[in-house]
Amino acid sequence: MSEILADEPSIVERILNHIDRKTTDLSEGIWREPVEHYTSPQRFSIEIEKVFRRTPTPFCPSAALPEVGSYVARDAALTPIVVIRGSDGIVRAFRNACRHRGVQLVQGAGCKKVLTCRYHGWTYGPDGALRGIPDEYGFPGIEKAAYGLVAVRTEEKHGMVFVIQDGPEIPEAGYLPDLFGPDWKLFTAVEQEIAANWKIVAEGFLEGYHIRSTHQDTFYPVQYDNLNLVENFGRNSRISFPYRRIEKLRNVPPVERRTAGMLTHVYHLFPNVMVATFPTNMIMTVLEPLAVDRTRLVTYTLSCIIGHEEGRAAVVQGRDFVTAGAAEDREMACAAQRGLASKANEVFTFGLFEGAIRHFHQNLAAAIATI
């Protein structure tokens, strides 16, 4: 996996110790985040400019682009972007706008060998080159090479496609484990818009203090409440949520203990992507900020057992289970958003169980403080 994260036997050991002692990982201190940071349109613009556009951000899993011409188009940091796999196998990203009069070329996801603008029919290759102009004699002297789609920096790494809009940095080598190997295939992709600030939505993924209270009939019967491991690496975190059946590993020699099927890892990839592991699938959720009080959730379900019917049935079951819990999280996010209007709180207080949220806000503050 990775040198930066604990190995499986030590993860299991730490969890079994917490079960015995009725403890959980604790952070170094309480964190107080000004509520204004969730409501201020000015703060929102700064987050888009200084954080989202300058950070290598996971855009979609590689598995969403399986073939030559596979594309995914959506807004990232309020900018329409399309990523597309070229005939050389390389994924490229472009600003999603025709070079004639700016019409968006594609929407959603699909597969096209040629991108044709609906307005006047200019065509582009998956490498972004302008290929054809209908009745080209109307544009005398136009240099086609200068009218290719405008490229955005991109990199395919760790089983994901990263987009970097304005930032000077490229993804730090080795800052992440390879989350999806080549066997992981895309099962479904779902988009939802939710009436909440993106940080409120993110925070819901980053602690297990709400398992019993929020997920009474979904996750709580199979998972522990408020029993988590929190590992921070770079600006990212990994939070482990153990299942009750992890107890079975007490009978397994420590070096042979494996975590698969015994817990969920949630990887928070700074700033806005969550990758969660489940027994039959993995879920990658992109929290795309649309406005200070609106977020689009793009949820990709991947699996490596969808090649046969039995596997697919198991994946559907696993996904539906997670979907029920995720709906409860969205409910809480919307309720927290509505609570903002009460002006009851000047700060939100994150306790010692909410250390991954503290890490998130510390890094957000640091990114915003840079010139």
- How many residues are present in the chain? 371
In the complex, least distance from residue 83 CB atom to ligand FES, rounded to whole angstroms: 20
Query: What tokens does 6 get?
Result: 């604990």
User: Which residues does 196 contact at the CB level (< 8 Å), separation at least 6?
Assistant: 293, 294, 295, 330, 333, 334, 336, 337
In the complex, least distance from residue 291 CB atom to Fe ion, rounded to whole angstroms: 24
Residue 136 burial by CB count (10 A; 0-12/13-18/19+): exposed, middle or buried? exposed
Amino acid at 208: G
Q: From 115, 151, 109, 126, select the one nearest 298 (Cα to Cα).
A: 109
In the complex, least distance from residue 290 CB atom to ligand FES, rounded to whole angstroms: 25
Footprint (CB under 6 A) of ligand FES, residues 119-138 = 119-122
Q: What order do you get walking across the sheet with 151-157 strand by strand?
A: 57-61, 160-164, 151-157, 91-95, 79-85, 70-76, 108-111
Residue 329 contact, options ligand FES, Fe ion, none, Cβ 5-8 Å cut-off depending on partner type: Fe ion
Q: Which of 64, 117, 269, 284 binds ligand FES (CB under 6 A)?
A: 117
Footprint (CB under 6 A) of ligand FES, residues 243-282 = none
Give the interface segment with ligand FES, choosing from 96-104, 142-150, 247-255, 358-366 (CB under 6 A): 96-104
Give the interface segment with Fe ion, choosing from 229-237, 253-261, 303-311, 328-336 (CB under 5 A): 328-336
In the complex, least distance from residue 113 CB atom to ligand FES, rounded to whole angstroms: 18
| Residue number with CB closer to ligand FES (70 or 96) | 96
Residue 98 contact, options Fe ion, ligand FES, none, Cβ 5-8 Å cut-off depending on partner type: ligand FES
Calpha distance 183→171 (Å, rounded):
23
Residue 94 as a binder of ligand FES (CB under 6 A): the answer is: no
| Residue number with CB closer to Fe ion (239 or 302) | 239
Residue 119 contact, options Fe ion, ligand FES, none, Cβ 5-8 Å cut-off depending on partner type: ligand FES
β-bridge partners, 155: 162
Residue 224 contact, options Fe ion, ligand FES, none, Cβ 5-8 Å cut-off depending on partner type: none
Residue 100 contact, options Fe ion, ligand FES, none, Cβ 5-8 Å cut-off depending on partner type: ligand FES
| Residue number with CB closer to ligand FES (126 or 318) | 126
DSSP states of 81-126 as a string? Answer: EEEEE-TTS-EEEEESS-TTT------EEEE-SSEE-TTT--EE-T
Residue 288 as a binder of Fe ion (CB under 5 A): the answer is: no
Calpha distance 21→312 (Å, rounded):
39
In the complex, least distance from residue 229 CB atom to Fe ion, rounded to whole angstroms: 16
Q: Which of 12, 65, 73, 98 binds ligand FES (CB under 6 A)?
A: 98
In the complex, least distance from residue 70 CB atom to Fe ion, rounded to whole angstroms: 32
The answer to whether the CB of 161 falls within 8 A of the CB of 91 is: yes
Residue 347 as a binder of ligand FES (CB under 6 A): the answer is: no
The answer to whether the CB of 207 falls within 8 A of the CB of 200 is: no
Residue 312 burial by CB count (10 A; 0-12/13-18/19+): exposed, middle or buried? middle
Q: Which of 218, 329, 359, 361 binds Fe ion (CB under 5 A)?
A: 329
Q: What order do you get walking across the sheet with 263-269 strand by strand?
A: 185-194, 294-303, 282-291, 273-277, 263-269, 236-242, 229-233
| Residue number with CB closer to ligand FES (98 or 109) | 98
In the complex, least distance from residue 204 CB atom to Fe ion, rounded to whole angstroms: 5
Kindly list the residues in this chain that would bind ligand FES in the complex (CB under 6 A).
Answer: 98, 100-101, 103, 117, 119-122
